[in-house]
Amino acid sequence: MGEPPRRADLPDIPEAVAAPKSARSIQLVWLIPLTAVLVGGWLAVKAIIERGPTITISFKTGEGLEAGKTKIKYKDIEIGLINSVTLAPDRGRVVATAQLDKDAESFVVEDTRFWAVRPQVTATGVSGLGTLLSGPYIAVDPGQSKQKRRDFVALDVPPIVTREEPGRAYVLRAGDLGSHDVGVPVYFRRLPVGEVVSRELDKDGKGVTIKVFVRAPYDQYVTENTRFWSASGFDVAVGATGVRVETESLVSILIGGIAFQARPDADVAPPAGENHVFHLFRHREEAMRRLDLEVVHLVFVFKESVAGLSVGAPVDFRGIAVGEVVRVGVEFDPQTFNFVQPVEVQFYPGRLWIRAPGMTTALPPPQTPEEIAKRV
């Protein structure tokens, strides 16, 4: 077929020519998705670089722990988040996996401590009330070790004192615990200056070890001559001036307490070091008593009844205690076929003095029961 006839009244129309595709237009089309890929990759790399360590924390119970909601805080600043909460393989504990911030890398060391902060009411007060609205969170006490660690066991109860609180810890030895549970206050001149942070039974089962913490600057008053005593309840003394009742505070009556002070006539001593060991006396009177450097052990044998005589009873000389009873027993005398009562006492010869013109000295310690009988 030939070309259609051209009308004479129409002008000549130029023939259309196809133009080649522009390389620039192709680049503009792919620029947007390419930019999106680059931005996404940069965000992914940034997230990996800024992501902190992943740790696991084992809890006794999962109460209040929620994946994606429960936060890890240090000084009320968020440093991590709980990602998952599962049961341990033995179903004995709850294991929470947490993602920490990059800046929290220094927390992942051997002696770091974690615990759950929940509302808690104890004999020493109320804590964790802020979690009633915000929900429980995980608190952290950073350690000082150089060894890294990723698996932790949370504390069952919050610590009384964190490592960053200034002060010193001391060790007290006692025959029994009494009412000195964790959190019981420590007093200096009736001012609360510390708390009991731990207590445990000695390995031989013959006593207890109580660890107390005294906050700065009050720890400077704990010297090597300091005496600690039980301030629980109140002491009642009857003397020539009447009845005297002493107590540290109302709190010590309800939950107990420990007080410390140096003897008024004690020599100046250097401050006690960290974990210095002290004896815990039963009461203030016993703590303030002068230590007897010379002790003579004697045994008195009574044939008559010793009813009313007990351990701790004083050996009295004109109203002054020069010794004390340490044991009261009963034995059979095979020679007389009678029972006798041996009473063991500790005699303190340093409490007896000889006064002469220009001289004051202590009597030499007696050597025999006859000699002590002559003096007492």
Per-residue pLDDT tens for 47-70? 666 678 899 999 998 888 999 999
Whether residue 288 has pLDDT greater than 70: yes
Q: Is residue 4 part of a domain?
A: no
What pLDDT, on a 0 to 100 scale, did the predictor assign at position 376?
43
Based on the fold, state whether residues 144 and 223 are members of the same structural domain. no
Q: pLDDT class for 373, splitting at 50, 70, 90?
A: very low
Based on the fold, state whether residues 318 and 356 are members of the same structural domain. yes
> Percent of the chain scored above 70 by pLDDT?
72
Based on the fold, state whether residues 247 and 276 are members of the same structural domain. yes
Q: How many CB atoms lie within 10 A of CB 127?
A: 14
Based on the fold, state whether residues 261 and 343 are members of the same structural domain. no
Based on the fold, state whether residues 308 and 325 are members of the same structural domain. yes
Closest CA to 228 of 271, 264, 257: 257
Residue showing tokens 């005398």 = 333
Based on the fold, state whether residues 243 and 325 are members of the same structural domain. no
Q: Is residue 26 part of a domain?
A: no
Q: Which of 21-25, 47-51, 259-263, 310-314 has the highest mean pLDDT?
A: 259-263
What pLDDT, on a 0 to 100 scale, did the predictor assign at position 375?
45
Based on the fold, state whether residues 143 and 175 are members of the same structural domain. no
Contacts 24+ apart (CB under 8 A), 36-42: none
Based on the fold, state whether residues 281 and 300 are members of the same structural domain. no
What pLDDT, on a 0 to 100 scale, did the predictor assign at position 228?
95
C-alpha 103/C-alpha 48 separation (Å) is 14
Q: Is residue 203 part of a domain?
A: yes
Give mean pLDDT, residues 5-11: 57
Per-residue pLDDT tens for 189-217? 989 999 999 899 998 888 999 999 999 99
The least confident of 1-10, 28-37, 67-76, 280-289 is: 1-10
Based on the fold, state whether residues 232 and 274 are members of the same structural domain. yes
What pLDDT, on a 0 to 100 scale, did the predictor assign at position 367?
47
Give mean pLDDT, residues 351-375: 53
What pLDDT, on a 0 to 100 scale, did the predictor assign at position 20?
61
Go through 340-362 and write b for each residue having 16 or more CB atoms within 10 A of its CB, e for each that does not.
bbebebbbbbbbbeeeeeeeeee
What pLDDT, on a 0 to 100 scale, did the predictor assign at position 48?
63
Whether residue 170 has pLDDT greater than 90: yes
Based on the fold, state whether residues 234 and 278 are members of the same structural domain. yes
Mean model confidence pLDDT for the chain: 79
Domain of 60 in residue numbering reads as 51-153
What pLDDT, on a 0 to 100 scale, did the predictor assign at position 369?
46
Q: pLDDT class for 245, splitting at 50, 70, 90?
A: low
Q: Is residue 177 part of a domain?
A: yes
Based on the fold, state whether residues 116 and 89 are members of the same structural domain. yes
Question: Higher pLDDT residue, 19 or 105?
Answer: 105
Q: Is residue 141 part of a domain?
A: yes
Q: Which of 22-31, 39-48, 105-114 has the highest mean pLDDT?
A: 105-114
Go through 10-32 and write b for each residue having 16 or more CB atoms within 10 A of its CB, e for each that does not.
eeeeeeeeeeeeeeeeeeeeeee
Based on the fold, state whether residues 255 and 332 are members of the same structural domain. no
Residues 6+ apart with CB under 8 A from 166: 215, 216
What pLDDT, on a 0 to 100 scale, did the predictor assign at position 240?
45
**Where a domain ends, among 126, 153, 180?**
153
**Where a domain ends, among 92, 123, 153?**
153
Give mean pLDDT, residues 7-29: 59
Per-residue pLDDT tens for 293-338? 678 888 888 888 888 888 888 888 888 788 889 898 888 878 777 8
Collapse the DSSP code of 154 into the 3-class scheme (helix H, G, I; strand E, B; otherwise coil) and give the result: coil
**Where a domain ends, among 153, 181, 205?**
153
Q: pLDDT class for 161, splitting at 50, 70, 90?
A: confident
Q: Is residue 161 part of a domain?
A: no
Q: How many domains does the chain have?
A: 3
What pLDDT, on a 0 to 100 scale, did the predictor assign at position 34?
76
What pLDDT, on a 0 to 100 scale, did the predictor assign at position 244?
52
C-alpha 119/C-alpha 131 separation (Å) is 6
Give mean pLDDT, residues 212-228: 94
Tell me if 246 sits within 8 A of 284, measured CB to CB: yes
What pLDDT, on a 0 to 100 scale, did the predictor assign at position 332?
81
Q: Is residue 336 part of a domain?
A: yes
What pLDDT, on a 0 to 100 scale, did the predictor assign at position 50?
66
Whether residue 372 has pLDDT greater than 50: no
Q: Is residue 28 part of a domain?
A: no
What pLDDT, on a 0 to 100 scale, did the predictor assign at position 139?
93
